[in-house]
Structure 1
Amino acid sequence: MIQGKNIIITGATSGIGLELVQILAQHNNILAIGRDEKKLADLKRINSDHIHTFVADLSDISALDMIVKKILIKFNHIDALFNNAGISIAKKFLDTEQDEINHLFKTNVLSVFYLTRAFLEKIIESKGMIVNIGSLFGDIAHPLFSIYSSSKFAIKGFTDSLRREYLHTGIKIFYVAPRATKTPGLEKTMNIGKYFKMNIDEPRAVAEHILYSIDKGIYRIYPKTIERIFLFVQKFFPSLIDENLNKRIPRI
């Protein structure tokens, strides 16, 4: 069990991030980052002594720079960073606007690089941990999710590389690949996602599985579901995945 730590969590006001805050705030100080000031205020009321809120749009690097400075002024000791925030796009690649691509990669990828770089030395000092929330779409690329899948492939590669680079320091670096989870982001893409008959998990169950796996020292955290079979097929028989997903694409 994680106790007595200073933990940064991005995307803290909904979905998996919100559940992580609610669980971890019972025994830790939570530094919750989100872009909705009202939701952050509501979040703080859950446990005002242990939840500290910071407003920032993760796609805005200048805003992140200010948040990093505020955190480091208030907390000299950082034990953990949960890079949880993310957004999704579900549409044909040719229908995707360049601004949408830029915004998604700034939020899903560049902010992870930036925050990890900003707090890495502190985490090394505390022999702490970094937890990067990816997706099964970072292993099994889906049609109509080309930009989102690409961003999660990037996070998976970054996490594995970082873990190997800093293994000698004693810090722990985890990669989490949930399947579809009931979040506001998923709701926005369900008009496309429904064609692939996705199994959907509750955020609380995902958060509990993440923390259980961390406690067990599992560095690559995947759901204990039928999707594990798909991961095997993707690795050894990718053409079967190609054919299966191609049949499901709505011809729009």
Structure 2
Amino acid sequence: MSAPIAVLSGASGGIGAHIARQLASRSYRLVLLGRDVDALHALQRELPSAEQSFHIALQVDLANDADMSRVIELIHDIGRCDLLVNNAGVNAMVPFTSLSREELDATLAVNIRAPMLLSQGLLPILAQNNGVIVNVGSSFGAIGYPMQAHYCASKFALRGFSEALARELSDTSVQVKYFAPRATQTAINSDKVTALNKALGNAMDTPEYVAKEFMHLLDSTERRRSVGAKESFFAKINALWPKVVDNALAKQLSTIKQYMR
């Protein structure tokens, strides 16, 4: 029996690389998608494999339609996909008034448009293999946070897409799951963001820990998993009594602004 195939976007980043290691340890054959070709090839060489060129590293810009089509065509040529992990994400923590159109377009293109297009393009192959789609969101997909308007918009959208698609496909063999990490020690968080989290007493997880939490979701029958008890509780409060969260974040706003450009 051939190895199950997992397509992983954002594989050259911190969380992505550790998810790749976890999946490879389960004998998945990985199609690694990312923008940093050197990091992709280093990861490809590191992963355990059954043979040379077992794992595939593909440098892509998921905001580029030609690159998106190239990925979908490759998987259709392979003829198998068991798991799609939409993990790629971009962010710039800035005041909304300072947000450039280029930053806004990149955030929406990578964080929500790409997962939707990859999911749509690979659904026929996933359906043949009882496949799973896991969309990697954020705790900010449930809590609107100051200086993160564009990022929250993209992650709220990804959570809504995941929930809707899971329900749409509930009478098929394809599962759709949503995974929401909290702040993680990766390059997507600048030094200013790390300093802000420290000042506010917010926990930041290691990417190794987040990858293990991802695997717990993958192994379960659950459709969604959030990392961090405090953040999960805060999200529930936000859904039921948003004014409580309004007031809590208003008290933090001056501190948050100190760390922004």
**TM-score, normalization: structure 2?**
0.90
Query: Contact 2:182 / 2:228 at 8 angstroms: preserved in 1?
Result: no
Residue 188 to residue 44, structure 1, CA distance change in 2 (3 Å) = same
Identify the residue that residue 219 of structure 2 maps to in structure 1.
215
After alignment, is 228-237 or 88-97 more displaced? 228-237
Identify the residue that residue 56 of structure 2 maps to in structure 1.
52
Identify the residue that residue 229 of structure 1 maps to in structure 2.
233
Identify the residue that residue 17 of structure 1 maps to in structure 2.
16
Identify the residue that residue 8 of structure 1 maps to in structure 2.
7
1:134-186: per-residue Cα shift (whole Å, max 9, x none)?
00100011011000010000000000000000111121110001111111001
**Does residue 244 in structure 1 map to residue 248 in structure 2?**
yes
Q: For the residues of structure 2 that align with 1:246 and 1:191, how far apart are their CA atoms? A: 20
2:144 to 141, 149, 156: 141
Q: Which one-letter code corresponds to 2:141 in the other structure?
A: G
What are the within-5 Å matches in structure 2 for residues 1-252 of structure 1?
4-26=3-25, 27-47=27-47, 49=51, 50-73=54-77, 75-187=78-190, 190=193, 193-194=196-197, 196-250=200-254, 251=257
1:17-64: per-residue Cα shift (whole Å, max 9, x none)?
100111111211011101111111111111353421111011112221
Q: For the residues of structure 2 that align with 1:35 and 1:226, how far apart are their CA atoms? A: 33
Q: For the residues of structure 2 that align with 1:134 and 1:100, how far apart are their CA atoms? A: 18
Q: For the residues of structure 2 that align with 1:36 and 1:226, how far apart are their CA atoms? A: 33
Q: For the residues of structure 2 that align with 1:196 and 1:57, how far apart are their CA atoms? A: 34
Cα RMSD for the two superposed structures:
1.7
Give the % identical residues.
27
Query: Contact 1:77 / 1:126 at 8 angstroms: preserved in 2?
Result: yes
Query: Contact 1:179 / 1:223 at 8 angstroms: preserved in 2?
Result: yes
Query: Contact 2:132 / 2:174 at 8 angstroms: preserved in 1?
Result: yes
Q: For the residues of structure 2 that align with 1:216 and 1:248, how far apart are their CA atoms? A: 36
Residue 165 to residue 192, structure 1, CA distance change in 2 (3 Å) = farther
1:72-124: per-residue Cα shift (whole Å, max 9, x none)?
22x11111100000011211111111111011111111111111111011111
After alignment, is 240-249 or 194-203 more displaced? 194-203
Gaps of 5+ in 2: none
Query: Contact 2:139 / 2:232 at 8 angstroms: preserved in 1?
Result: no
- 1:191, distance to aligned residue in structure 2 (A): 6.5
Q: For the residues of structure 2 that align with 1:35 and 1:79, how far apart are their CA atoms? A: 23
Q: Which one-letter code corresponds to 1:232 in the other structure?
A: K
Q: For the residues of structure 1 that align with 2:90 and 2:140, how far apart are their CA atoms? A: 13
Residue 191 to residue 95, structure 1, CA distance change in 2 (3 Å) = farther
- 1:188, distance to aligned residue in structure 2 (A): 5.7
- 1:228, distance to aligned residue in structure 2 (A): 2.2
3-state SS, counterpart of residue 168 of structure 1: coil
3-state SS, counterpart of residue 3 of structure 2: coil
**TM-score, normalization: structure 1?**
0.93
Q: For the residues of structure 2 that align with 1:55 and 1:224, how far apart are their CA atoms? A: 32
Q: For the residues of structure 1 that align with 2:231 and 2:130, how far apart are their CA atoms? A: 33
- 1:66, distance to aligned residue in structure 2 (A): 1.8
Query: Contact 2:62 / 2:110 at 8 angstroms: preserved in 1?
Result: yes
1:222-241: per-residue Cα shift (whole Å, max 9, x none)?
12422222122112211111
